[in-house]
Amino acid sequence: MKKRLLVVAPHPDDETLGAGGTIAKFSAQGDEVFVLMVSGHLPPLYSREDYEITVSEAHSAFDLLGVAKSEFLEIPATMIGDQPLHEVNGRISKIFNEFKPHIVFCPFPDRHIDHRLVFDSVMVATRPVGVGKDIEIVAAFETLSETHWNAPHIEPNFTPNWVVDITKHIDKKLDVLELYETETDGFPFPRSRDAVIALARVRGAASGFRAAEAYSLLRARE
pLDDT over 70 for what percent of the chain? 100
Beta carbons of 133 and 221 less than 8 angstroms apart = no
The whole-angstrom distance between residue 106's C-alpha and the CA centroid of its chain comes to 5
Per-residue confidence band for 1, with pLDDT thresholds at 50, 70 and 90: confident
pLDDT tens for residues 75-119? 999 999 999 999 999 999 999 999 999 999 999 999 999 999 999
Per-residue confidence band for 193, with pLDDT thresholds at 50, 70 and 90: very high
Q: Is the pLDDT of residue 222 over 90?
A: no
Beta carbons of 142 and 160 less than 8 angstroms apart = yes
Beta carbons of 97 and 134 less than 8 angstroms apart = no
Per-residue confidence band for 40, with pLDDT thresholds at 50, 70 and 90: very high
Closest CA to 34 of 93, 99, 89: 99
Average pLDDT score, the chain: 96
pLDDT tens for residues 122-145? 999 999 999 999 999 999 999 998
Q: Is the pLDDT of residue 55 over 90?
A: yes
Exposure on the CB side of residue 218, measured as CA atoms within 13 A: 21
pTM for the structure as a whole: 0.96
Rounded Cα gap, residues 57 and 68, in angstroms: 16
Beta carbons of 141 and 19 less than 8 angstroms apart = yes
Total Cβ atoms within 10 A of residue 143: 27
